Structure 1
Amino acid sequence: MVAVVTVANMDWAAWHDDYDDPGSVLARRLAVVQDVIRAALDGCPQGPLAVVSMCAGQGRDLIGVLATHPRRADVRARLVELDPRSAAVAEAAARAAGLGGIEVVRGDAGRMRHYRELAPADLVLVCGVFGNVTDADVLRSVEACARLCRVGGTVVWTRHRRPPDLVPQIRGWFSACGFEEAYASDAAAGFGVGAHRLVVAPASRQDADRIFSFVESKQLRLA
């Protein structure tokens, strides 16, 4: 049995502080994620766009891009974040940027129920998730992304490169679920960022509500 992490176990608001250090791994990764999001939005068809973000944190990735992106008015986005302080920061940032199409939902991002209303989405963000869940839940999340994403839509995801390095396996799982790779960061970067475009619609089936659960780092080695 794996232990589910609660807000009490981790100060997620303080965890975001490294983003403010330009030399940190998180700050460098964020810059890459934003570039990939920007490219994905640039390639979307004209008209309304739907975006969902799992474990959105303070929303720095999407909000940071939409603040100046020409498609900003086309986007309806749902950011799901359990930590109330991080969610409040995201809400304030969206208001400050004038992004009325962004909704921040304070809830368990590992529940499919939060995303179905906007699915199939043009852009699905799974950043900061894969390093905090079991390998089985990473695979389950990839499979869920195939049902949350429209054909032609893009999933952007992240994962650390510490051993055991799961990034090659994740890339393979996306391919097996009907995606083609649009971007993969170099291993030398010290972090993993990927973007995959859905090209084959998944077989229709009833989704389970639970996608993933955060677990404590020591449990990740045992699960």
Structure 2
Amino acid sequence: MDWQAWHRQYDDPESALSRRLVAVQAHVRAALDRAPAGPVPVIALCAGQGRDLLGVLADHLRRADVRARLVERDPDLAAAARAQAPEQVEVITGDASQIDQYDGMVPAELVLLCGIFGNITNADIERTIAACPQLCRTGATVIWTRQRNDPDLAPTICDWFEQRSFDRVWLSDKNAGFGVGVHRFTGVPKPLLKGQTLFTFVPGGP
């Protein structure tokens, strides 16, 4: 996958990726709005240029409370995120699939899993969801994306979250042209088990 070319879809405001971004940012904003008083830890896996979060922080009233870690393997994309990130947002050039990357930042209030589930196997999607109680504090929001082309896996992804104490907040319509899901963690956080690999990208998607 040419991730630089993929990100150029954002240049077209009518593209599915741009419309997806609008939906994701709306739910990032809502998650920050309802975050409890005090520091708001945020992690983003495979963060790309950081648009999902950074576009919201630019004018959000809680931006000073946010402490974020964005992990992106592509050095050019990570550099683009770093150039736009405020001081309290750390951008790491590294492998987002390694759970150790989030040590010291979890349990988080907001977990972004955007641009991942369409590029890994179903087993790895479920493995990543199963690890989310290690990443989330009680009440945390997880925002994830996955295209809703047939066979549509989004209902199954929702089931996997809901089997692990996540309540569904929102799922985009199947005919929206993109897929975004939002879940809120109602369970008790689990300790971070270091050394885990959550997923492996599959060339061309699973």
TM-score (norm 2): 0.96
2:167 is the counterpart of 1:150: no
Give the 5 Å matches for 1:18-33: 18-33=9-24
Distance 1:207 1:61 in 2: 26
2:102 is the counterpart of 1:115: yes
CA contact (8 A) 2:146 2:180 kept: yes
CA contact (8 A) 1:80 1:108 kept: yes
Deviation at 1:178, TM superposition (A): 0.8
Q: Deviations over 1:140-194 (max 9, x none)?
A: 1111112100011110100001122110000000000110011111111021111
Deviation at 1:12, TM superposition (A): 1.0
Query: SS in structure 2 opposite 1:165?
Result: coil
Deviation at 1:13, TM superposition (A): 1.7
Of the candidates 161, 168, 179, which is equivalent to residue 155 of structure 2? 168
2:119 is the counterpart of 1:132: yes
Distance 1:208 1:199 in 2: 25
Aligned-residue sequence identity (percent) comes to 54
CA contact (8 A) 1:54 1:126 kept: yes
2:66 is the counterpart of 1:79: no
CA contact (8 A) 2:111 2:136 kept: yes
Distance 2:152 2:193 in 1: 31
2:57 is the counterpart of 1:66: yes
Distance 1:182 1:206 in 2: 27
Query: SS in structure 2 opposite 1:13?
Result: helix
Q: Which residue of 2 aligns with 1:3?
A: none
Deviation at 1:51, TM superposition (A): 0.2
Look up the equivalent residue of 1:152 and give its one-letter code. Answer: G
Deviation at 1:208, TM superposition (A): 4.6
CA contact (8 A) 1:13 1:83 kept: no
Gaps of 5+ in 1: 1-9
Q: Figure out how many residues of one structure are paired with residues of the other and give that number.
A: 206
Query: SS in structure 1 opposite 2:44?
Result: strand
Look up the equivalent residue of 2:59 and give its one-letter code. Answer: T
Distance 2:16 2:56 in 1: 19
CA contact (8 A) 2:107 2:189 kept: no
Of the candidates 87, 91, 112, which is equivalent to residue 82 of structure 2? 91
Task: Please provide the CA RMSD for this pair.
Answer: 1.3
CA contact (8 A) 1:119 1:148 kept: yes
Of the candidates 9, 26, 37, which is equivalent to residue 28 of structure 2? 37
CA contact (8 A) 1:121 1:148 kept: yes
CA contact (8 A) 1:159 1:191 kept: yes
TM-score (norm 1): 0.89
Query: SS in structure 2 opposite 1:76?
Result: strand
Q: Deviations over 1:113-143 (max 9, x none)?
A: 1012100000000000000000000001111
Gaps of 5+ in 2: none
